[in-house]
Amino acid sequence: MQLTRFTDYALRTLMYLGLQTDRLVTIPEIARVYGISANHLTKVVQRLAQQGYVETVRGKGGGMRLARPAETINIGGVVRDTEDNMDVAECFDSANRACPMLPACVLKSALHEASQSFLATLDRYRLPDLLPPTNSANSRKLIARLMG
Amino acid sequence: MQLTRFTDYALRTLMYLGLQTDRLVTIPEIARVYGISANHLTKVVQRLAQQGYVETVRGKGGGMRLARPAETINIGGVVRDTEDNMDVAECFDSANRACPMLPACVLKSALHEASQSFLATLDRYRLPDLLPPTNSANSRKLIARLMG
């Protein structure tokens, strides 16, 4: 059971921005720190900007930052906003209506209930809960490690 | 967020066997009913047999059936037994230790907690909960639909 890479990158981008609140951060920097594709990350950042999680500043010296206080960013909400498919099993895909069980399928509602429990657990976390307190020794240590 | 196709097929195989308790069922039959690959299904059935969910009878007229009463088959348990990866996010993959956040990563424990909630919800379901009562009008109707 895995979240999409898209959601994974979105969460890690927000975590990085939550650690670096005093400056603008670029896509190549995040891609380098995490060792992930800048191309793929660009699409993630575009979505996060559309959804009001990050704001971007264009031009020389530009980059991105959180568009709102980290405390207002709920992790369950981010997953809902970035996972395109919460169908949980392929057989419920709207593109795949072949399963003859579907009209009587209780598995569908059981898996739906389970994914709601998954999200409800993440709803208890806000972005700062995933990070050491800003400007703490631990956050400085983490930033130093991230910067290599 | 999706379970693997392997788990999806395993659950649907068990549901089919749970409906057809009075006879042996073959892999080609299940593959045809669900419109899925018999090849892929063969691996799923092998695993279900190893794990004691189904038993197979070889030879002409052979096939498979549930190896134990449907009431003893817990859906959370099946998902634990068939999902190879409950890491939830790629960045926690043991093959991918590149993420510099990992030593301080609270996301990892939040996602682990969320996937435990997911499984705990499924632990409340046993195989018969996913099916109409055996020999009820609804189960006869469903079998008739499945048999096309």
DSSP notation for A90-114: GGG-TT----TTGGG-HHHHHHHHH
Dump pLDDT digits (tens) for A5-20. 999 999 999 999 999 8
Within 8 A of A120 by CB-CB distance, chain B residues are 117
Q: What is the tally of structural domains in chain A?
A: 1
Residue B139 pLDDT > 90: no
Within 8 A of B105 by CB-CB distance, chain A residues are 130
Residue B19 pLDDT > 70: yes
Of A33, A85, A91, the CB nearest to B8: A91
Q: Are strands B63-66 and A54-57 parallel, antiparallel or unpaired?
A: unpaired
Radius of gyration over every alpha carbon of chain A, rounded to an integer in angstroms: 18
Cα–chain center distance at B1: 16
Of B75, B99, B104, the CB nearest to A34: B99
User: What distance in Å separates the CA atoms of residue B148 and residue B146, rounded to the nearest whole number?
Assistant: 5
pTM over 0.95: no
Residue A145 lies in a domain: no
Within 8 A of B17 by CB-CB distance, chain A residues are none
Confidence (pLDDT) at B12:
93
Confidence (pLDDT) at A73:
98
Amino acid identity at A29: E
Q: How many CB pairs under 8 A join A and B?
A: 152
Does A106 sit within 8 Å of B129, measured CB to CB?
yes
Highest mean pLDDT among A133-147, B17-31, B77-91: B17-31
Which of A81, A96, A121, A136 should be substituted to probe chain B, the one whose Cβ sees the most B Cβ atoms within 10 Å? A121
Residue B106 pLDDT > 70: yes
Mean pLDDT of A130-143: 83
Contact A93, A83 (CB under 8 A): no
Does B1 sit within 8 Å of A110, measured CB to CB?
no
Residue B104 pLDDT > 90: no
Confidence (pLDDT) at B49:
97
Q: Residue B85: helix, strand or coil by DSSP?
A: coil
To the nearest whole Å, the CA of A79 is away from the closest chain B CA by 9
Residue B68 sits in a domain whose CATH number is: 1.10.10.10
| DSSP category for residue B74 | B
Dump pLDDT digits (tens) for A36-52. 999 999 999 999 999 99
Contact B139, B19 (CB under 8 A): yes
Cα–chain center distance at B114: 20
* Residue B119: closest CA among A114, A110, A88, A122: A114
Of B8, B107, B119, the CB nearest to A89: B8
User: Quick one: angle between helices A38-50 and A75-82, nearest 10?
Assistant: 110
For chain A, give the number of residues: 148
The domain containing residue A131 runs over which residues? 5-139
Q: Residue B36: helix, strand or coil by DSSP?
A: coil
Confidence (pLDDT) at B37:
92
Residue B134 pLDDT > 80: no
Residue B1 pLDDT > 90: no
Dump pLDDT digits (tens) for B43-61. 999 999 999 999 999 988 9
Residue B105 pLDDT > 90: no
User: At B55, which helix (H) or strand (E)?
Assistant: strand B54-57
User: What distance in Å separates the CA atoms of residue B71 and residue A7, rounded to the nearest whole number?
Assistant: 37
Of A88, A146, A148, the CB nearest to B2: A88
Mean pLDDT of A57-84: 94
Within 8 A of A122 by CB-CB distance, chain B residues are 110-111, 114
Where would I find the beta strands (DSSP E) of chain A? Answer: 54-57, 63-66
Give the pLDDT band of residue B103 (cuts 50, 70, 90): low
Dump pLDDT digits (tens) for A88-113. 777 766 666 567 777 678 888 899 99
Within 8 A of B134 by CB-CB distance, chain A residues are none
Tell me what percent of the residues of chain A surpass a pLDDT of 90: 59
